[in-house]
Chain A
Amino acid sequence: MSENVLRIRDLSVNYQTDRGVLEAIRHVNLDIPKGSIVGVVGESGCGKSTLITSIIRQLDDNADIPNGSIEFEKQDLLKLSLDKMRNISGTKLSIIFQDPMSTLNPVLSIGRQMIDIQYRDKISKKRKKQRSIDMLTKVGIPDPRNQLNQYPYELSGGMQQRVSIAMALQAGPSLLIADEPTTALDTTLEVQILKLLKELQEEMGCSILFVSHHLGVIAELCDHVVVMYAGEIVEQGSTYEIFNNPAHPYTVKLLECDPASISKKQNLLPTIPGEIPDLINLSGGCIFKNRCDQSIERCDKVTPILNKFDTHHFVSCHLIES
């Protein structure tokens, strides 16, 4: 396999809360190979957002990272000074957020914002403007020259998201983080944006870390999938393997209960009984044990680790080991 753009090793993030220490993510290992799209999928509270914010170093003040490293282009992001970090984010590393309306500044025109973010480049304003126009053309915005004078509220949701994709890719980043970029969009637009992302990724050769709770979107876009549950990676592997041959009980159940995967009409849809465990005062053992219907005695005592299940498929479950 080719080299990795991002290498996360043994990353844990804790939050100090009134009730005690909340272990939001624990011992996460993640690789993003160059030029590939890696999807992180999981339900609310699984630590998706904490993972992203720790990569871009924007964690809240009450968070601390007891152990782990995030290696991006041969340097540990966690050890960089904030100045150096600021130079990486926005150039080598950029991000698209869920809600384009709150990403874009409502009081500045699109053009002004797109030119502003090129402040590092010592070229004339005219060339910066031309670059912005080229970028807007690339993301499929009609009549880009006039669009530069528009304000975000004058654009539809799909167009706003295209603008934020254009801004994120303008500096030619080697890693693009996409945090649920299509959740706020209608299905027909969702398909358009996914196709656009894939085309741009192939054209520009960057890697994408795509975070979503929508299984269909992940299946459509990603090469590799990482399944997270309550702050741990429970399974990871190639998209084909994960969706066709899921091994962890959680992944199996998650795929089963997605209404999209049931094509016959059913009055009673499958669900996952129980709730996500409280991440304060974790008791040890497997994190999924209280909702798993196959749990054995060992699951209560020993925390499983990610084991090789197949060539490109890793699972953290005692049932698989034995």
Chain B
Amino acid sequence: MSKLLSIKNLRVRFRIKSPLQAMLQKIDDPYIDAVRQVSLDIKQGETFTLVGESGSGKTTLALAVAGLLNATEGQIKFMNEDVTSMTSSQIMAYRKKISFIWQNSIGSLSPRMSVGSLITEGYKIHNLKDRDLKMEADRLLKLVGLPAHISGRYAHQLSGGQARRVGVARAIALKPKLIIADEPTAGLDVSVQGEILNLLNKLKDDLGVSLFVITHNLNIVRHISDKTAVMYLGRFVEQGQTDDIFAKPKHPYTLALLSANLTPYPEASLKNRIELKGEVPSLMDRPNGCEFHTRCPFSSEHCDNEFPPMHVFDGEQILTCHYPLNQN
């Protein structure tokens, strides 16, 4: 399979203090790094999942991939084109190949447009007039499993699951190569979560698109993704094949996330759980050494001072830790 998206050492910075504020408050570095040193590859037809807690930079990374945010450093290559150096007309063409399913499914739909016009909005924006928009809308609705009569409805008349399906229909309308799904199951009931995931899996197989899924729900990751990356404070602490990550996590943070994942088995809670101390540190005040050492149950003095090296296991599982867990 060929590479679809390839990111190398991406860094996205945000200014948090104006030059004057920074001068008056004597802050040398008035920026935060929301994404730092991120490298990843997504192949055609593959599902890549990004997990991490709030504020870890998941959405920032996705926005940078879509060209909605400028990368400070690094390279984003999509089908061998460099996204970071595109002109605005090139970006416009690029956006046809990439689409979003937003986290807030109802909020991402305009309240003043009917479902039918929402779904076909992409054609109008990209000036694709060679088709019957009404028929297109019906076809797309059918693809995502909604009845055709829904195209006359407005966003507030949809249930959470229906709105999510409309979001999916919008995302596939322009036949993109990559769909970025930001928390595709957030706020949905368990029985509906399965429906949306089944739909995404089916579309992936039928249309051959790649998926870039952002989530903090580990339960769904196992079922939809081929590759997984775990993000902490803007960096990837571990990435690899999803099965490997679940079967033998090697970074303590990954292990902690997996063990914090509650399952509906009352007796499972009796087993030893790795509990993290405290909360995610502020991006404005990154810890020295290994950035995870403040919460890591296995940290030593070494971790406090020195940034951990990168390890590669079996050619695929990449992680940054001084003491990778040995689980076989």
Contacts and interface: CB of A to CB of B under 8 A. Distances in A.
Interface stretch (B1-9, B33-41, B217-225, B302-310): B217-225
B264 A191 contact: no
A215 B264 CA distance: 5
A303 interface: no
A269 B223 contact: yes
Given A195-B275, A215-B264, A220-B262, A186 B216 contact: yes
Given A254-B191, A259-B220, A243 B262 contact: no
B141 to A, nearest CB: 17
Interface stretch (B18-26, B113-121, B150-158, B194-202): B194-202
A159 to B, nearest CB: 7
Nearest to A267: B201
Contact of A271 (B198, B216, B260, B279): B198
A215 B273 contact: no
B264 A261 contact: yes
A312 to B, nearest CB: 13
B212 to A, nearest CB: 18
Contact of B54 (A157, A220, A262): A157
Nearest to A253: B191
B243 interface: yes
B279 A257 contact: no
B219 A260 contact: yes
A234 B102 CA distance: 35
B190 A217 contact: no
Nearest to B56: A186
Contact of B223 (A44, A218, A266, A271): A266
A interface majority secondary structure:
helix
Contacts of A272: 191
A216 B261 contact: yes
Interface residues of B, number: 40
B189 A260 contact: no
A267 B223 CA distance: 6
A213 interface: yes
B260 A187 contact: yes
Contacts of B173: none
Most chain B CB atoms below 10 A, which of A188, A259, A262: A188
Interface in A21-63: 43-44
Contacts of A244: 266
B191 A243 contact: no
Nearest to A43: B189
A260 B262 contact: yes
Interface in B219-267: 219-220, 222-223, 242-243, 256-257, 260-267
Given A258-B264, A268-B198, A44 B189 contact: yes
Contact of B279 (A189, A213, A217, A253): A189
Interface in A177-207: 186-192, 195
A271 B201 contact: no
A205 to B, nearest CB: 22
A265 B222 contact: yes
Contact of B264 (A216, A266, A267): A216
A158 interface: yes
B53 interface: yes
Given A243-B265, A260-B264, A191 B195 contact: no
Interface string B121-138: 000000000000000000
Contact of B275 (A44, A186, A191, A216): A191
B203 interface: no
A253 B194 CA distance: 12
Nearest to A269: B194
A145 interface: no
A188 B256 contact: yes
B266 A243 contact: yes
B269 interface: yes
B262 A217 contact: yes
B262 A214 contact: yes
Interface in B256-302: 256-257, 260-269, 273, 275-276, 279-280
Contacts of B44: none
A284 interface: no
Contacts of A195: 275
Contact of A191 (B242, B262, B280): B262
Contact of B189 (A159, A186, A213, A220): A213
Contacts of A213: 189-190
B260 A258 contact: no
B264 A219 contact: yes
A271 B53 CA distance: 27
Given A187-B260, A188-B257, 12 more contacts: A186-B216, A188-B53, A188-B256, A188-B260, A189-B53, A189-B279, A215-B190, A215-B264, A219-B265, A243-B266, A254-B190, A254-B191
Interface of B: 53-54, 159-160, 189-195, 197-198, 201, 216-220, 222-223, 242-243, 256-257, 260-269, 273, 275-276, 279-280
For the complex of A and B, the 10 pairs showing the least CB-CB separation, nearest first, are: A216-B262, A269-B194, A215-B264, A43-B189, A260-B219, A186-B53, A272-B191, A259-B219, A271-B194, A187-B260
29 contacts: A43-B189, A43-B190, A44-B189, A186-B216, A187-B260, A188-B256, A189-B53, A192-B275, A192-B276, A195-B275, A213-B190, A219-B262, A219-B263, A219-B268, A219-B269, A240-B267, A254-B190, A258-B190, A259-B217, A259-B219, A260-B219, A261-B265, A265-B242, A266-B223, A267-B198, A267-B223, A269-B194, A271-B192, A272-B191
